[in-house]
Structure 1
Amino acid sequence: MSDSFAAHADMTTLQDRKYRQWFRGADVDGDGVITRQDVLLMAERYIAARAASQSPTAHRLTQELDAFWTHVIAPMDQDGDGKIDLRQMTEGFRRALTDPGLYPQQIQLVADCYFDLIDLDGNDKIDQEEFQQIFGLAGNISFGHCAEVFTALDLDGSGTLDRAEFHQGLAEFFYGNDPDAPANHLFGRIAD
């Protein structure tokens, strides 16, 4: 086996594990498939965790997640039933999320909405408490795990995540292949 083939196989395996972890969180109703309703429920879950249902940010998040469904997730539906199973989603992410240079078009708008929703005090920084509230309460990730991930993503050690650090973490999660990257566990500890 060539080194490049082995590296690609390792990368694919790591990405599959990350995508599987994301799928678990996105399948809000737990029925084994992602539908448009799951994506909208995901927005509702995060908005409810912030008690921000009437805010412009909440409305923007719902719109951006609906667009994410339409432009990124729905095209993965190979049989046209409106349901994306784990295999379809994994294969679709593998096809769609190949170029980190496309992050601004594929992920950034939704990520900016999440950032603004998490940043409850509006200081353009996310502190550990804000991070834990959104990822712990709405994402069903343990507070201890949230603290570990937050500390690792806080690249400058400031005690807060700025927008660049937040985007860097999400880009690493969706596009990266470094098995030691702290962002691998952003949506929960991935299985080995």
Structure 2
Amino acid sequence: MSDLRTRKYHQWFQGADVDRDGVLTRDDLMRIAERAAAAQGIAPNSPHARQLNESMDWFWTDIIAPHDSDGDERVDRAEMTQGFLISLNDRSRYPEQIKWIADLVFDLGDTDGDGKISLDEFTQVFGAGMQVPTADCTHVFNRLDLDESGTLPRLGYHDAVIEFFYGDDPKAAANHLFGRI
């Protein structure tokens, strides 16, 4: 098992545990969606907000909850990390496991609809939704902006998400996607 992936998953867990009670619940994921939508000025009852909520509910049901080994509808860090290490081990499964929610997050961030995310857009989504400090958002964004255009295209964003969840390259900038590890 990868120590690097374990550290990355712990960092992701820290941001996803919105109420900081040491466990993930469906409510934590719904609050991530609410906070990210609010940061972008999306009305709670809008179609986009509903889609985001439905997707987070699916992410809970199909990706997180199966790792609830004791059936208490709460997934602690050890359960989630062990589950992610087992289930997120094949990059070819990215489209069915994570791509759809990554697309949704990208679309949420791409407020001007230009197919790219600026540093401000990136910081709004990751800072508000996953509690990533602004300095960490700036650091990772600048490292992911390979062409130094000040934007991150959808493909570059997906490459980063893939590397974060499936990769073991200790030098990859994407290791810090959800905050510095």
TM superposition score normalised by structure 1: 0.89
Match in the other structure for 1:174: 165
Q: Distance in 2 between matches of 1:172 and 1:67?
A: 22
How far off is 1:65 after superposition?
Answer: 1.2
Would you say the 8 A contact 2:39–2:128 is kept in 1? Answer: yes
From 10, 33, 56, the equivalent of 1:20 is 10
The one-letter amino acid of 2:125's match is I
User: How do residues 50-69 of structure 1 correspond to structure 2 at under 5 angstroms?
Assistant: 50-53=40-43, 54-69=45-60
Q: CA RMSD in A?
A: 1.3
The one-letter amino acid of 2:18's match is V
User: How do residues 25-40 of structure 1 correspond to structure 2 at under 5 angstroms?
Assistant: 25-40=15-30
Unaligned runs of 5+ in 1: 1-8
Would you say the 8 A contact 1:33–1:83 is kept in 2? Answer: yes
Match in the other structure for 2:87: 96
How far off is 1:123 after superposition?
Answer: 1.2
Q: Distance in 2 between matches of 1:14 and 1:148?
A: 19
Q: Which has the larger radius of gyration?
A: 1
TM superposition score normalised by structure 2: 0.94
Stretch of structure 1 that moved more, 90-99 or 154-163: 154-163
Match in the other structure for 1:79: 70
Q: Distance in 2 between matches of 1:136 and 1:16?
A: 22
From 121, 126, 142, the equivalent of 1:151 is 142
The one-letter amino acid of 1:179's match is P
The one-letter amino acid of 1:15's match is R
> Which ranges of 4 or more aligned residues in structure 1 deviate by more than 6 Å?
none
SS of match in other structure, 1:157: coil
Stretch of structure 1 that moved more, 48-57 or 158-167: 48-57
Would you say the 8 A contact 1:57–1:116 is kept in 2? Answer: no
How far off is 1:122 after superposition?
Answer: 1.2
The one-letter amino acid of 1:77's match is D
Would you say the 8 A contact 1:57–1:113 is kept in 2? Answer: no
Aligned residues between the structures: 180
Would you say the 8 A contact 1:149–1:186 is kept in 2? Answer: yes
SS of match in other structure, 2:164: helix
